[in-house]
Structure 1
Amino acid sequence: MSISPEPLGTRPPGHGAGLLIIELDGAGSHPAAWRATRTAPAAVLTPARLRDVVLAAESAGFHAATFSDAPRPEDAERPADAAAQLNSLQRAAFAGPITHSIALIPEVDTVYTEPFHVSTQLASLDYVTGGRAGWLVAASASTADAAAVGREPVGRDRLAQEAADSIEVSRRLWDSWEDGAVIRDVPTGRYLDVDKLHYADFAGGTYSVKGPSIIPRPLQGQLPVLAPAGLLAPEELAAGAADGLLVSAPTPELLAAELAETREALAAFGAGTAPALIAELDVVLASRGQSGAERLAALDAHTPWESPRARFVGAPTELIELLAGLLSPAAAGEKAAADGVRLHPAVLDTDLEELGRLVLPELRRRGILAPAQSDTTFREQLGLARPASRYAAAASPAASPAADAVNAGN
């Protein structure tokens, strides 16, 4: 990795408040959510439905929304309650022009998708959102995903390297156009400053990428990259591969301890960057006269919810206290357990309504949440400066062939 790391402790002083992220997949995170939603099953994947839930999340004050793209069981093994999905990048791109403050973060696989195309699609998303795009890294171990692209399945021992290589390729390609590379000089007919385009020149274990990218540098320079804790090797994290880690634990009670252990492990390894730690939490709230436990039992009667994440089941007031404990520093000068929390509502129609009506307003009243502001980039939400291109200092006329390659393809 060769991005410029941000030293520990250099985030702006005002960045003490936490972020709340919400997963907006289908009818909800519970596999039987479609049975309890107020939306007709046939309408769950429509543009109107996506618009409604994304605007509801933005109106509630969530800082970011993620769009899952996880592999599903093969058709022969698909249970009746398996969720239907559309491509995560397409959903995020659709939501970009109709939103103003919420960051949009699609989950994109790093194993069976071409890194050149992933990089350019994510850069395009950054333009569509006005700098509010992020990337939730996934590493698929699915045999169906491998067969779909004609590859042998990648062993679990290789997933971390595949993910790290894909991230590195994307970061190099985002930097391959320096800021100011597009000049649009009409009198001379020059669209590009050829000295500000560069080859990525990546050679990995399974592929190589020459570059440069086919579109200009993203608005944020580098999109924030989120990854599940444990996916990337410690040395990759130390070099700045990820800007945020999603941390899971078996129960809510163990989340704070898991977050502390993750932070300590990064410090012990000598990480030069401070990736944000984002706690993962499934949520089933009491609503409309039903307790959270009653709602969960009714859903589980159809298909039990099997999830690796901690699960909160209870009243909104209890969830407020749990989130306050995760996002508030324990004492003056100490870090909060988490920099953010990603919530996975069991049923979007029900739980998102309760979150926006009761939970977020109270957290905001207590000063626990960072403000949600229009036209703020996702990097700014994370307290990250916009980095310079790694190639800017090494710019030279020798880079001209890269520009010629781009112009030849236009």
Structure 2
Amino acid sequence: MGRIDAVNRAAFVAAATSTIGLVPVVGTTYAEPFHTSSQLATLDYASRGRGGWIAARDTDPRVASALGRPEVTAPADLAREERDAITVVRDLWDSWEDDAVIRDHATGRFVDRDRLHYIDFQCETYSVKGPAIVPRPPQGQLVVFGSEGNTDPSLVDVVLVSGPTLEDTSAAAGRAKAGGAPLVFAELDVALGSSPPAPPSGRLSFAGDATGLLELLRALDAHVDGVRLHPAVVDEDLPVLARSVVPALLRAGIAHRPVPGSTLRSTLGLDRPVTRFQAERLEDSSR
């Protein structure tokens, strides 16, 4: 409340970075999905294709109050809002085909209107006509992350799994993969050196030195495609991660340095998708 939101912070960082993915957490319960789509597409342009989105349910009543919305608490309603929001955002990214922007000086046309599409989305709480007001993002679709047990794996590119122990986290990863998750990342709280341990969060937690963390990450590597680290004290833990942990992971071949100029999708081994409308047109032409 009262702070610069995660997407704006990520867009600010985009100008000072060249390889890392920028993946803000944006709520799905109260935020307007049309605006979420525009913000995230703009982030992808600012970062030249390094944007992503952690789609998260809003469970803090202050968020509803700040946005003037009725509070949503029922699990089924939270799930419905999440599903609808992700669907709308993805459809809006597809509402401009890749070649919609033509910049034809001779005719004075900036876009080919035949390459823009209405999405005509209707749900219980809102409707979205479309198309988007921002051209299709550089990645086509930003990388979308969601939580195991909450988000439908078919809606996301990366499923985030949690568990209080390595065994629990590994089991959650197995469930996510069995459910069709394209990629699975583990959530891990980290406290290094003199940092106090993170308060209980339901996530796997590590407190110790860089060597011990490396051993845990090697163990996780057998079960997941990546790890999302949550430093207990950013100013203390992040320098240790950058100085001691990441170089060791690179040497061991567990982590790989992103190639400058590459997109987040390509770094994660995800193909750039065609738009929904192009796919439907290709399917119709093949019949």
Structure 1 length-normalised TM: 0.65
1:244 corresponds to:
158
Contact 1:126 1:133 in 2 (8 A): yes
- The residue aligned with 1:400 is none
How far residue 259 of structure 1 moved from its aligned partner, in angstroms, is: 1.9
2:204 paired residue among 310, 315, 319: 310
In the alignment, structure 1 residue 203 sits paired with structure 2 residue 122: yes
Instruction: Rate the CA distance shift 1:258–1:393 in 2: closer, same or farther, 3 A.
Output: closer
Structure-1 residue corresponding to 2:284: none
2:141 partner amino acid: Q
Match for 1:114 among 27, 32, 42? 32
Aligned equivalents of 2:90, 2:167: Cα separation in 1: 36
The structure-2 alpha-carbon separation of the partners of 1:256 and 1:85, relative to structure 1 and needing over 3 Å to count, comes to farther
**Contact 1:252/1:311 (CA < 8 Å) preserved in 2?**
no
Please tell me whether the aligned partners of residues 105 and 136 of structure 1 are also in contact (alpha carbons under 8 angstroms): yes
Unaligned runs of 5+ in 2: 282-287
Code of the residue aligned with 1:277 in structure 2: it is V
Pair 144,349 (structure 1): closer, same or farther in 2 beyond 3 Å? closer
- Give the aligned partner of residue 94 of structure 1: 12
1-structure distance, mates of 2:271, 2:176: 24
Correspondence for 2:137 among 218, 233, 238: 218
Give 1:156 deviation, angstroms.
Answer: 2.4
Map of 1:382 onto structure 2: 268
Closer/same/farther in 2, CA of residues 389 and 261 from structure 1, 3 Å limit: closer
Deviation at 1:106, TM superposition (A): 0.7
- Deviation of 1:126 (Å): 0.4
> In the TM superposition, what whole-angstrom CA distance separates every residue of 1:227-251 from its partner, at most 9, and x where no partner exists?
111112xxx42xx301011101013
The CA deviation string for residues 287-316 of structure 1, in whole angstroms up to 9 with x for no partner, is xxx4xxxx427xxxxxx8242211101121
**Are 1:252 and 1:312, in contact at CA under 8 Å, matched by a contact in 2?**
no
Which residue does the alignment assign to 2:277? 391
Q: Is the 8 A contact 2:140 2:273 kept in 1?
A: yes
Name 1:341's counterpart in structure 2. Answer: 227
User: Quick one: which of 44, 48, 69 aligns to 1:151?
Assistant: 69
Residues 263-297 of structure 1: per-residue CA shift (max 9 Å, x gap): 23x1xxxx4xx4211101111112xxx4xxxx427
Q: Aligned pair 1:360/2:246, yes or no?
A: yes
Instruction: Name 1:278's counterpart in structure 2.
Output: 185
Asked if 1 retains the 8 angstrom alpha-carbon contact of 2:259 and 2:267, the reply is no
- Output the CA distance in 2 between the equivalents of 1:306 and 1:142: 18
Q: Deviations over 1:189-243 (max 9, x none)?
A: 11111110100110112111000001110000011100111112xxx42xx3010
Aligned-residue offset at 1:177:
0.5
Assess if the C-alpha contact under 8 Å between 1:127 and 1:219 holds in 2.
Answer: yes
Question: Does the residue aligned with 2:138 lie in a helix, a strand or coil?
Answer: coil
**Map of 1:326 onto structure 2:** 220
User: For residues 250 and 139 of structure 1, what CA distance do their matches in structure 2 show?
Assistant: 21
Q: Which runs of 5+ in 1 are unaligned?
A: 1-71, 73-83, 298-303, 328-335, 396-410
Contact 2:26 / 2:54 at 8 angstroms: preserved in 1? Answer: yes
Asked which structure has the greater CA Rg, the reply is 1
**Partner Cα distance (1:197, 1:262) in 2:** 35
> Which AA in structure 2 matches 1:351?
D
8 A contact 2:148–2:172 mirrored in 1: no
Aligned-pair RMSD on alpha carbons? Answer: 1.7
Equivalent residue, structure 1, for 2:113: 194
C-alpha change, 1:393 and 1:251, in structure 2 (3 Å) is: closer
Is contact 1:103-1:132 (8 Å) kept? yes
> Is 1:170 aligned to residue 89 of structure 2?
yes
Query: How many equivalent residue pairs?
Result: 280
Aligned to 1:351: 237
